[in-house]
Structure 1
Amino acid sequence: MAEQVRAIRTRQAILAAAAKVFEERGYQAATISEILASAGVTKGALYFHFQSKEDLAFGVLNAQNQNLVIPDRAIKVQGVVDIVMLHTYRLQTDPMVRAGVRLTMDQLAQGLDRSGPFRTWAMPVREGLERAKSQGELLPQIDPTETADVIVGTYAGIQSMSQALTDYEDLVSRVTALLRHLMPSIVQSSVLTSVDISESRGQNVYNEAFAHSQSVPEAEVERAAG
């Protein structure tokens, strides 16, 4: 049992070090030696858990997906907004999420498949929009699949702009501005008045989702998240 705990801690230390190096240097410039030095582990320990730099990058990309489940909302559009705002809060506060986004947006990352995170982000947004459409919350012409891709794509651009200009300090205000512009072209006006897109929403949703994850058995959380 003690060995298993040590192995888990070693893996977490390696991932945290890899996240730091990938965020600072980008995928192409990052080296295994830098990650080893930052993690303070041996080469053997690293290769026990990860076979290559690409494997490390996928580990970081997967580690950003905490088992945080947003409780179901009566207004389904609110659930879509909450996905966006929760990711925004975590992007500002979680180094693993920032590193994952850096890898995803890194066009110089040769040999690294960066498509997975975009699909991962788009899927719950699309599903939320489909539920909203079934409840009559969306404008008639809205296609949930197309709109999910638009939301994910525009968000990617907004977060990249925020990172370049202010290192994410203004991310929340930029994302709420994005939602104020997008939502009226997607959502019925009668529904939109009840949707919360305030700047404090992300932290509130994180606190709610974290508390929920602590009260639900681990296996159930994994089923809900997967």
Structure 2
Amino acid sequence: MKEVTQPRALETRAKILQAAARLFALKGYHDSKLEEVLASAQVSKGAFFHQFRDREDLGFAVLDWHMEQRRQLLDAIEQELPLAKQADPLQRVFRRLDAIQEMVRRREGCKGGCIIGNMSTALSDCHDGFRKRLAECFDEMAKEFLPYLEAKARQGRAGRQTNTSELARYIVTVIEGAIMQARTLGDAELLPRQLAYLKEHLKQCLGP
């Protein structure tokens, strides 16, 4: 991946990444042609190749960009949410879940699905490099919850054993599956319902 430091080049790169991310979310990686990305970003082919080696390089860059944008947005939303009244690690998990729910709510009306989900479906079976990077994306999502799950597990009843790594992955599975189904079914309340069930399940797994 090419390193870019000049302000104008960074602006051009950001325009390309934003345009590509929108198209990947709407049409998927394979059906998003380079010409469409260039037209949407309003940049020339020369400007593109100054930033990226090829379309594959763009795909990896979009994943990195998306994960950073996602993290920043969720952190910002969390700052807007009411603080938990009790110093319970599980409440930190619930706070992140609430931020995710709010992030999805803000995107209502926007066309396209989850970039990570779309690209996983399209590329995991045919491109090992993308499969590995997408797996890392899911791992990054799970790791957002892991420290708090581990802290809560340490507070639990003696003799109770919980695989917190698998529990963190389970959380991501519920979130991603609910987002996909909500869009397919046209049910904006599906994610809130599933997250409510998820919170109850976590209480049962890790409660006092």
On whether the aligned pair clears a TM of 0.5, the verdict is: yes
- Residue correspondence of structure 1 range 5-154 to structure 2 within 5 A: 5-64=7-66, 65-66=68-69, 68=72, 69=75, 74-93=87-106, 99-108=114-123, 110-111=126-127, 112-113=130-131, 114-136=134-156, 140-154=160-174
Report the RMSD for the aligned CA atoms in angstroms.
3.0
Q: What CA deviation, in whole Å up to 9, does each residue of 1:102-121 have, x standing for no partner?
A: 43442456323221211111
Q: How far is 1:17 from its partner?
A: 0.5
Q: Is the 8 A contact 1:138 1:186 kept in 2?
A: no
Q: 1:126 to 1:141 in 2, by over 3 A?
A: same
User: Which structure would you say has the larger RCO, counting Cα contacts within 8 Å and 6 or more residues apart?
Assistant: 1
Give, in whole Å, the separation in 1 of the partners of 2:114 and 2:173. 18
- For 2:143 and 2:158, locate their aligned partners in 1 and report how far apart those are by CA, in whole Å: 18
| TM-score normalised by structure 1 residue count | 0.69
Report the number of matched residues: 185
**Contact 1:158–1:174 (CA under 8 A) maintained in structure 2:** no
The alpha carbon displacement at 1:88 in A equals 3.1
* Bigger shift: residues 97-106 or 30-39: 97-106
Compared CA separation, residues 161 and 107, structure 1 to 2 (3 A):
same
> Residue type matched to 2:146 in 1?
R
The alpha-carbon deviation at position 100 of structure 1 amounts to 2.7
- Contact kept? 1:19, 1:60, Cα under 8 Å: yes
Name structure 1 gaps, 5 residues minimum: 191-226
Equivalent-residue separation in structure 2 for 1:138 and 1:42 (angstroms): 63
Does the Cα contact within 8 Å between 2:16 and 2:38 map onto a contact in 1? Answer: yes
After TM superposition, what 4+ stretches of structure 1 lie above 4 angstroms from structure 2?
69-73
Deviates more, 1:118-127 or 1:80-89: 80-89
Pick closer, same or farther for the CA change 1:137–1:76 going to 2, 3 Å.
Answer: farther
Q: Gapped runs of 5+ residues in structure 2?
A: none
Structure 2 vs 1, CA of residues 137 and 22 (structure 1 numbering), >3 Å: closer, same or farther? Answer: farther
* Identity within the alignment, %: 28
Q: Could you report, residue by residue, the CA deviation over 1:44-76 in whole angstroms, capped at 9, with x for unpaired residues?
A: 111222222222222222222235346797211
Is the counterpart of residue 177 in structure 1 residue 179 in structure 2?
no
Amino acid paired to 1:45: A
Partner amino acid for 1:117?
A: C
Q: Secondary structure at the match of 1:27?
A: coil
Once the two structures are superposed, residues 200-222 of structure 1 have per-residue CA deviations (whole angstroms, 9 ceiling, x without a partner) of xxxxxxxxxxxxxxxxxxxxxxx
Alpha-carbon offset, residue 86 of structure 1: 2.0
SS at 1:14 equivalent: helix
Helix, strand or coil: the match of 2:162? coil
